[in-house]
Amino acid sequence: MFNSIKTVFHGFLKTLSIAPCLIALVTVFLFVPTTTDSEQPEVRLEIRTSEAISIRIYVARFASLGPGGLGKSAADFEKIVGSDLQLSGFFEMMKVPTGDINAFLDGFKNKAGSKEEVLVEGRVSAEEDKIVFEGRVYDIDGRKTIMNKRYKFAGRALRRAAHLFSDEIVLQLTGERGIASTCVAFVSNVSGTKEIHVMDYDGYGNKQVTMERSICLSPRWSPDGQRIAYTSYSSGNPDLHAVGRYGGRPSVLSAYRGLNSSPAWSPDGRKIALTLTKDGNAEIYVMNADGSGLRRLTSHPAIDSSPSWSPSGRQIAFTSDRSGRPQIYMMEADGSNVRRFTFAGSYNDSPAWSPKGDRITYASRIGNNFELSVVDIAGANPFQLTSGNGNNENPSWSPDGRQIVFSSSRGGKRDIYVMNADGSNVRRLTSQGENFDPSWSPRPGEE
């Protein structure tokens, strides 16, 4: 028996000669980890639900493999990803202080801090006429790659690929997909008339989507992100149109005499609530998304306008001046159980229900200006989000409920601004012309 064991060991030794074994022995003794836990670390890091930032991301300089022009692509890609992760508000962003990632990681002592630490790396190369990006997320503490991604794209799609990568990182680290691939539709008069425009959530890629050559107002994204409903005066009457998100020929959804305004898609995309004055007075109606099946929801001689659906699709918030001045009201989606929601202030309008369902933001006249406020759905704890110069109006939530896009005249003219849901980190997205009435798109692929 001993002979057979000996044979096995001899065979083993032939494939694994003794010298490296001895070196390995020595190496292992010198580099024993401080934790003796032999279990594999979690692949997905803990979901952080509080506002406290507890994940630190190091973004390495993205490498390029190939012709000189790719270096710029790598740098652009890295800049977009870094910016997306910074804007998400989830992370503490750090630069890798050296180009030598190995040295950086070697020097990384296991700190007894409370922050999770990850490294994001990327490499750009070329394949035929396309660019290929390979990226990964590496959990520094657990010393494990937790995500690998590979994208292939033409140069013009670089921003989109970078945003996709960022969204995957956010999904991996927080459990919810990021919003870097989303867009904002809005009204702009840069072309000479008020038309519908679409830009990326970070202000890039501003494109004109309609050419109605009259006045367009109140763009609203369909929940599948494919169409934008809006009011147009191109026929002489404010009709409701819909256009594909990449332009093309608009269709007419509703053309009753009088107003066809403030469209609001139900969360399942099957219905649109809107304001019509065809019966002599501004009332809220609901119709199928193709314009059929019109049903009236409100019946009051006051102005009823600006509907906003709850994410459950069972409630609608709206503006009514039935008490004498515009205030926010709520009703069931069939028009029943109308009840007043705001009581403070003399003019409250433009309600926007958070996709999380727990809060409503609206414009409120405070002093001489309009400010944005947010309140929970019990109507308690109103919190003023904006202050200072100019009017702040038309709030619209990001699909993750963490940011609000709005129009503000604080800079002297109306422009599109975005801020965190607590009012912090206000940034301007537009510059030329008058820009207002923004609507935040759903995440791509969302229903």
**Closest distance to other proteins from the beta carbon of 51 (Å):** 30
Q: CA geometry: angle at 250 spanning 436 and 157, to 5°?
A: 70
Q: Does 14 bind other proteins (CB under 8 A)?
A: no
Residue 426 within binding range of other proteins, rule CB under 8 A: no
Q: Are 387 and 410 in contact (CB under 8 A)?
A: no
Residue 434 corresponds to which tokens in the numbers above?
A: 């008058």
293-332: contacts with other proteins (CB under 8 A)? 303, 305-306, 319, 321, 325-326
From 311, 306, 378, 369, select the one nearest 342 (Cα to Cα): 378
Contact between 394 and other proteins by CB under 8 A: the answer reads yes
Residue 93 vs 105, nearer CB to other proteins = 105
CA distance 175 to 187: 34
Strand pairing partners for 149? 135
In this chain, which stretch among 77-85, 157-165, 170-178, 423-431 interacts with other proteins, using CB under 8 A?
157-165
438 binds other proteins (CB under 8 A): no
Residue of 247, 345, 357, 433 that binds other proteins (CB under 8 A): 247
Please say which residue, 223 or 250, places its beta carbon nearer to other proteins. 250
Sole binder of other proteins in the list 55, 75, 105, 426 (CB under 8 A): 105
* Between 119 and 402, CB nearer to other proteins: 119
Of the candidate residues 4, 14, 15, 28, the single one contacting other proteins (CB under 8 A): 28
Residue 88 in the binding site for other proteins (CB under 8 A): no
4-to-7, 14, 205, 260 alpha-carbon distances in Å = 5, 15, 72, 90
At residue 283's C-alpha, the angle toward residues 277 and 288, to 5°, is 90
By CB under 8 A, how many residues form the interface with other proteins? 101
Nearer to other proteins, 91 or 370 (CB): 370
Q: d(Cα 183, Cα 167) in Å, to the nearest integer?
A: 14
Quick check: 443 binds other proteins (CB under 8 A)? no
Q: Which residue of 81, 363, 366, 418 would you call a contact of other proteins, by CB under 8 A? A: 363
Residue pointed to by tokens 């012309």: 433
Give the DSSP per-residue string, 312-372.
TSSEEEEEE-TTSS-EEEEEETTS-S-EE---SSS-EEEEEE-TTSSEEEEEEEETTEEEE
Q: Judged by CB under 8 A, which of 167, 195, 371, 415 binds other proteins? A: 195
